[in-house]
Amino acid sequence: MFYNNPLLIKLKKKLEKKISTVEIEGTVKSTKKEFGFLETNSHKFYFLSPKEMKKVMHGDKVKAEIIFKNNKEIVFIRKLLAPSLKKFIGRIKKKKNIFYIIPENLLIKRTIFCNKKNNMSKMFKEGDWVIAKLIQHKLNGYKVFFAELLEFIVNSNNPFYLWSVILSKYNLKKKEPSIDIKEDIEFISDELNRKDLTNLEFITIDNDNTKDIDDALFIQKEESNKIKLIVAIADPTSYILAGSKLDKSAEKRAFTSYLPGFNIPMLPRLLSENLCSLCPNKKRPALVCEIIISQDGNILEKKTKFFTAWIKSKKQLTYLNVSNWLNNIGSWKPSSDSIAKKLILLKKFSLLRLNWRKKNNLVFKERLEYRFQVNNIGEIINIYIEPRKIGNRIVEEAMIAANICAANILSKKLGFGIYNTHVGFDLKNTKFTVKFLKKYGIFFDSKKINTLKGFKKLYLIINKLSDNYLEARIRKFQAFGKISILPKPHLALGLEAYATWTSPIRKYGDILNHRLIKSIIKEETVKKPKKSILIKINEQRRKNKMAEKEIQNWLYVNFLKKIDEKDKIYSAEIIDIYKNGIKARIIENGAYVFIPLFFLHSKKNEVVCNKEYGIIEVLTHIFYRISDILSVTIVDIQIDKKNIIACPI
């Protein structure tokens, strides 16, 4: 009856004109509520209804269709391009004998059902943390999300469960390497004629709980006010053959993971804390560097010697005791006059070298370091500021000197090695840095600023100005350090080349440099390390830092949550400016806090957050800058998100 009605046909055509469609691709973004957004590559955001969000997870890359109807945009997700979850970490839940998993990523608010195998109730329990693999996604035609359980990580009853979860997240080892003592541990002669230095009075200076001691020092006066420093470094390559099972394990780990509460060694503890550790009164193999320091603090390169030796440390000292005694604090004193004289000479050496480096290289301002006190059940007890003391500086200057010597011999004798490098500023930041400096009347060419001479000149100027904001802003523009096979400058140290070999118990790159230095001693031909090793070392270093930072953030929120923070006032340094607020660090304990924009000024349209310049302006006037110190109170601690929200007062 109405099928051919002309009025209805006309109305239908009119409605169709008001409806059009457009296809887009983007990434799903969840919110605290049930709705979400689709972010395109051009950073446009489209609203996703709760119904559409049930089809997807946060981070999914999808193809969608926008229907424009009566001046409204309605987004329908049509196809999955790439899931955000593939292999992931989650926590087991059980309800009415049905197992499902909650992803560790809090933004993925999804119940994911998982497989139920025979005896599964015995294998996995409520609260267990596991590694799983997503095998069914709703956008692929399935009714539910479904995952396959791959690996057990840790039970939630374990007091250090979070450490295990985060280490698994970054694919880092949770235990020391397993070894067969009979097959894997055997001293290797290396065909080297080791000198017997066991009669020399070597000492070690470390933290009071250090077991993996990798350096010992001997010092004495020479003629013409020169100083002879002998740096003896633990020699794990005397037990580990290149290409062996232990060597491959160390290469894969690349570093010892130092975490609040404990460490996971790169080498088996039998080696790192026993056979190779330079423990007091134990005869140990060592790779040794003999350095002659002139009366003005210069290293006399031509007199530097590398050789292998046997040593026996006579005393294990601590940074704290050494520093206090040298500063006439406390009751501790050296056990003999000879050790006392050596400590006084070591202090003189460290000051000579520090002054030399300030004049000829670069020495950056010291940053506060923090130490976490964690008990044996994973509870955070306290957080301490750990200032750099003279005892720390003695060891630091000795190691820097030894690493400079290693870089020199590797560069001249081989032309390759494992070098720590620093290029100065990222290429993308170089032009902006030059533009930024012009505001201060500091003029640099964008090419010269990233040369050793140009970078040193820049920091001499910055240090004279003593402008905290300028120094902090310039530091933000700098690139991260990298590892290189070829000798390249380390601009942050102001050196032509820098190669570490002083921590072979803890760093695989130092093991490689040990082998290269030994090849020079033996006058053997040796192959250049493969680039693939560099990739592994750089990646493992990145993952170790991320894991350590994530664990620290978790400890911070738990530490501050358990103490009464109401009305307590902290001093906090602004370290970054975001478009929606400020990131600052509490000076007292090192905790990072976020200060939302609405706490800074009530009228959002009057505020400009300039991330590049690190400033916040209100009505064109600068109110906040990075490096500024604010007084803040903590207003909220979000344990699940590891966030601490603060408000300025």
Say if residue 217 is in the same domain as residue 355.
yes
In single-letter form, the type of residue at position 18 comes to K
Q: How far is residue 100's CA from residue 112's CA, in Å, rounded to a whole number?
A: 5
151's tokens: 């690996």
Q: How far is residue 27's CA from residue 315's CA, in Å, rounded to a whole number?
A: 60
Catalytic hit among 60, 128, 184, 206: 206
Mark which of 47, 62, 82 sits at the end of a domain.
82
pLDDT tops 80 at residue 546: yes
Question: Which H or E run includes 39?
Answer: strand 36-39
Bridge partners, 610 (sequence order) = 615
Distances (CA, A) of 298 to 103, 176, 351, 455: 56, 41, 12, 21
Say if residue 368 is in the same domain as residue 459.
no
Query: What pLDDT score does 14 carry?
Result: 56
Q: What sign results for the dihedral spanned by CA atoms 396, 261, 108, 141?
A: positive
Count CA within 13 A, CB hemisphere, residue 252.
Answer: 12
pLDDT tops 80 at residue 12: no
Say if residue 202 is in the same domain as residue 287.
yes
Strands (E), 189-241: 195-196, 202-206, 215-221, 227-234
Nearest to 282 by CA among 226, 234, 350, 330: 234
Mark which of 82, 111, 139 sits at the end of a domain.
82
Domain range for 598: 564-648
Catalytic hit among 60, 184, 214, 235: 214
189's tokens: 């002669």
Query: What pLDDT score does 355 carry?
Result: 96
Say if residue 290 is in the same domain as residue 274.
yes
76's tokens: 């329908």
* Known active-site residue 510: no
* Known active-site residue 337: no
The residue-averaged pLDDT of 512-518 equals 98
Indicate whether 225 belongs to any domain: yes
Q: What sign results for the dihedral spanned by CA atoms 77, 78, 82, 85?
A: positive
Span of 12-26, 126-140, 438-452, 590-604 with lowest mean pLDDT = 12-26
Say if residue 249 is in the same domain as residue 282.
yes
Q: How far is residue 19's CA from residue 21's CA, in Å, rounded to a whole number?
A: 7
Give the pLDDT band (50/70/90) at residue 13. Answer: low
Query: What pLDDT score does 178 carry?
Result: 87
* 459-506 pLDDT, tens digit each: 999 988 889 999 999 998 999 999 999 999 999 999 999 999 999 999
Check: pTM over 0.85? Answer yes or no. Answer: yes
Query: What pLDDT score does 43 carry?
Result: 87
pLDDT tops 90 at residue 9: no
Nearest to 29 by CA among 63, 56, 2: 56
3-class DSSP state of 189: coil
Catalytic hit among 100, 239, 319, 556: 319
Query: What pLDDT score does 387 carry?
Result: 83
Give the pLDDT band (50/70/90) at residue 262. Answer: confident
Q: How far is residue 510's CA from residue 641's CA, in Å, rounded to a whole number?
A: 37
Strands (E), 235-282: 257-259, 262-264
* Residue 232 near residue 278, CB atoms below 8 Å: yes
Say if residue 226 is in the same domain as residue 357.
yes
Say if residue 217 is in the same domain as residue 336.
yes
Query: What pLDDT score does 116 carry?
Result: 61
3-class DSSP state of 492: coil
Mark which of 61, 82, 103 sits at the end of a domain.
82
The domain that holds 631 is classified in CATH as 2.40.50.140
Say if residue 408 is in the same domain as residue 328.
yes
* Known active-site residue 296: no
Indicate whether 2 belongs to any domain: no
Indicate whether 5 belongs to any domain: no
Residue that wins the pLDDT comparison between 377 and 327: 327
Say if residue 393 is in the same domain as residue 268.
yes
Say if residue 263 is in the same domain as residue 227.
yes
Catalytic hit among 110, 253, 506, 541: 506
Burial 117-137 (b: 16+ CB within 10 A, else e): eeebeeebeeebbbbbebeeb
Say if residue 237 is in the same domain as residue 351.
yes
pLDDT tops 80 at residue 314: yes
Mean pLDDT of the chain: 91
Indicate whether 640 belongs to any domain: yes
Give the pLDDT band (50/70/90) at residue 117. Answer: low
Indicate whether 382 belongs to any domain: yes
Give the pLDDT band (50/70/90) at residue 3. Answer: low
Bridge partners, 206 (sequence order) = 318
Catalytic hit among 60, 128, 212, 510: 212
Indicate whether 44 belongs to any domain: yes
pLDDT tops 90 at residue 425: yes
What percent of the chain shows pLDDT beyond 90?
77
* Residue 215 near residue 506, CB atoms below 8 Å: no
Query: What pLDDT score does 18 carry?
Result: 56
In single-letter form, the type of residue at position 353 comes to R
R_g of the chain computed on alpha carbons = 30
The residue-averaged pLDDT of 608-617 equals 93
pLDDT tops 60 at residue 109: yes
Say if residue 21 is in the same domain as residue 111.
no
Indicate whether 578 belongs to any domain: yes
* Known active-site residue 319: yes
Query: What pLDDT score does 311 carry?
Result: 98
Indicate whether 333 belongs to any domain: yes
Query: What pLDDT score does 293 carry?
Result: 98
3-class DSSP state of 410: helix
pLDDT tops 70 at residue 8: no
* Known active-site residue 214: yes
Residue that wins the pLDDT comparison between 379 and 344: 344
What is the tally of structural domains in the chain? 5
* Known active-site residue 445: no
DSSP of 332-364, one letter per residue?
---SSHHHHHHHHHHHHHHHHHHHHHHHHS--P
Catalytic hit among 215, 235, 510, 628: 215
The residue-averaged pLDDT of 366-378 equals 90
* Residue 203 near residue 315, CB atoms below 8 Å: yes
Q: How far is residue 488's CA from residue 158's CA, in Å, rounded to a whole number?
A: 46
* Residue 281 near residue 315, CB atoms below 8 Å: no
For 524, residues 6+ apart whose C-beta sits below 8 A from its C-beta are none
Query: What pLDDT score does 64 carry?
Result: 95
